[in-house]
Structure 1
Amino acid sequence: MWCLKRNIFLTAQHLPEKENVIVDSESRVMRDRSDWMLNPSIFRRIRAQFSYLK
């Protein structure tokens, strides 16, 4: 709802394996599903874009 109210739309797009080699191989590594986070630099960019979020 938050995105809809702000006219923000997210879409998913398939990338062929040859264009996504590193991420594709990393996604196949078994990890603890409860242990994840956004890349810190990406998170900083999101916070800068939406500075009014707390």
Structure 2
Amino acid sequence: MILGDAIKNPCINICRMDQHARFCQGCWRTLVEIGVWDQMTDRQKTEVAQSLEQRRNRKV
């Protein structure tokens, strides 16, 4: 997910929200995170990327 100094967009083109509309089942981001990804700093993107791994592991 992290390429050099740039943070890659985690979208995998499986765009479907979970039953509680909290997370995308493809990339595990929230709608807000998806919507503001391009405006986030690399630090913010890194924080989200770390959260995604935890979300996947818990399958929230």
TM-score band, normalised by shorter chain? under 0.3
More strand by share: 2
TM-score under structure 1 length normalisation = 0.27
TM-score under structure 2 length normalisation = 0.25
